[in-house]
């Protein structure tokens, strides 16, 4: 009998943090899952550790050579037997109720992708910081035009959605952002649970740190495609002079609020901030006032259009 959940965990030379990660998954309050571990050609002690695990819910897929994270995750999706897939990184820690909480949301039928708030853990200092993000579908889809409001290893999704869209090799080191934008473009529905269901570990060896320039280039390409698909405009949110942003930013924001009903004032405030210059010194107060006024105005227009 197939499990309800498939957890897809990809590993590559991850021995340092792997035990804490896997134990956090095996101790979930919701137990009807399989844990698919795709080892992407590790040459440290990772594979030996994995082969010593005895929990019957674990399935290990060992790749002889390193193919990269995108290939490994897609391989895990293909092997998943559950109705829902939870994504996990080998250096992170899941809250015991993560699967339970996300399953409740996904089984409701109104959400395709469910993330959560998280706690970031600095591996060097041990400092923990609470990380919150937009929770509603409208705000998440709007914010995808300027950044990724989903913490990838905190997400779970319907299996059929992940098999249909998948990670794209054209977007190295920003493949998660590309995946969510692709799903959003095709009508996918999102939600972030307002609970900290993941501890996200920060350390110098992370791909997002090592491959930062490549990730930034991929992000810009994805962003341009998403904004074009969403608004039909070539306007990318970026800093511009006052007269120019009053024209272009307001046009962009009116369009995005028509396309996505229910965007909050806070999200509109964030969107407009992308069109402003930072570090304005004594002008900062005026900049914030301008931002608040435009955000309030556009939010009211969006609410009227949604009636």
Asked whether residue 36 falls in the same domain as residue 182, the answer is yes
If one counts the domains in the chain, the total is 2
CATH code of residue 63: 3.90.550.10
Q: Establish if 186 belongs to a structural domain.
A: yes
Q: Which residues contact 72 (CB under 8 A, 6 or more apart)?
A: 10, 12, 38, 40, 63
Last residue of a domain, one of 214, 245, 273: 214
Asked whether residue 210 falls in the same domain as residue 244, the answer is no
**Reported pTM:** 0.94
Asked whether residue 179 falls in the same domain as residue 76, the answer is yes
Given a contact cutoff of 8 angstroms between Cβ atoms, the answer to whether 167 and 175 are in contact is yes
- The candidate with the shortest Cα–Cα distance to 268, out of 290, 242, 240, 284, is 290
Structure tokens of 94? 């899941």
pLDDT digit string, tens, across residues 236-256: 999 999 999 999 999 999 999
- The candidate with the shortest Cα–Cα distance to 248, out of 235, 266, 262, 230, is 235
As a whole number, mean pLDDT of residues 62-74 equals 95
pLDDT at 280 over 70: no
pLDDT digit string, tens, across residues 114-171: 999 999 999 888 899 999 999 999 999 999 999 999 999 999 999 999 999 999 999 9
Structure tokens of 36? 């698919």
Split at pLDDT 50, 70, 90, the class of 303 is confident
Given a contact cutoff of 8 angstroms between Cβ atoms, the answer to whether 289 and 280 are in contact is no
Domain that holds residue 252: 234-305
Asked whether residue 38 falls in the same domain as residue 172, the answer is yes
Q: Establish if 228 belongs to a structural domain.
A: no
pLDDT digit string, tens, across residues 41-61: 999 999 999 999 999 999 999
Q: Which residues on neighbouring strands pair with residue 131, listed in sequence order?
A: 118
pLDDT at 306 over 70: no
Structure tokens of 183? 């799903």
Size of the chain, expressed as the number of residues it contains = 307
Asked whether residue 208 falls in the same domain as residue 291, the answer is no
* Cα–Cα distance measured from residue 88 to residue 8, given in angstroms and rounded to the nearest whole number: 6
- Mean predicted lDDT score pLDDT of the chain: 93
Asked whether residue 129 falls in the same domain as residue 248, the answer is no
pLDDT at 207 over 60: no
Q: Identify the pLDDT of residue 268.
A: 97
Split at pLDDT 50, 70, 90, the class of 186 is very high
């Amino acid at each position: 009998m197939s499990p309800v959940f498939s957890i897809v965990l990809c590993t590559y030379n991850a021995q340092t943090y792997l035990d804490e990660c896997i134990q956090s998954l095996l101790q979930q309050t919701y137990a009807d899952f399989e844990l698919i571990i795709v080892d992407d050609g590790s040459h440290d002690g990772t594979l030996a550790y994995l082969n010593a695990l005895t929990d019957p819910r674990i399935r290990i897929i060992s790749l002889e050579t390193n193919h990269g994270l995108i290939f490994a995750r897609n391989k895990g999706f293909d092997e998943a037997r559950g109705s829902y897939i939870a994504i996990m990184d080998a250096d992170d820690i899941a809250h015991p109720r993560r699967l339970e909480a996300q399953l409740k949301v996904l089984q409701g039928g109104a959400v395709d992708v469910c993330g959560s708030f998280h706690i970031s853990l600095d591996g060097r200092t041990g400092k923990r910081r609470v990380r919150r993000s937009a929770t509603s579908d409208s705000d998440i889809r709007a914010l995808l035009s300027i950044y990724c409001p989903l913490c990838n290893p905190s997400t779970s999704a319907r299996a059929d959605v992940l098999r249909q869209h998948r990670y794209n090799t054209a977007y190295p080191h920003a493949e998660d952002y590309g995946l969510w934008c692709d799903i959003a473009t095709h009508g996918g529905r999102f939600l972030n649970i307002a609970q900290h269901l993941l501890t996200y570990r920060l350390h110098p060896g992370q791909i997002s740190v090592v491959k930062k320039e490549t990730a930034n280039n991929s992000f810009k390409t994805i962003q341009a495609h998403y904004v074009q698909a969403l608004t039909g405009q070539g306007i990318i949110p970026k800093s511009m002079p006052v007269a120019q942003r009053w024209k272009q930013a307001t046009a962009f924001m009116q369009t995005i609020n028509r396309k996505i009903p229910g965007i909050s004032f806070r999200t509109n405030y964030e969107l407009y901030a992308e069109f402003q210059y930072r570090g304005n010194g004594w002008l900062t107060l005026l900049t914030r006032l301008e931002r608040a006024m435009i955000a309030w105005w556009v939010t009211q227009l969006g609410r009227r259009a949604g009636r």
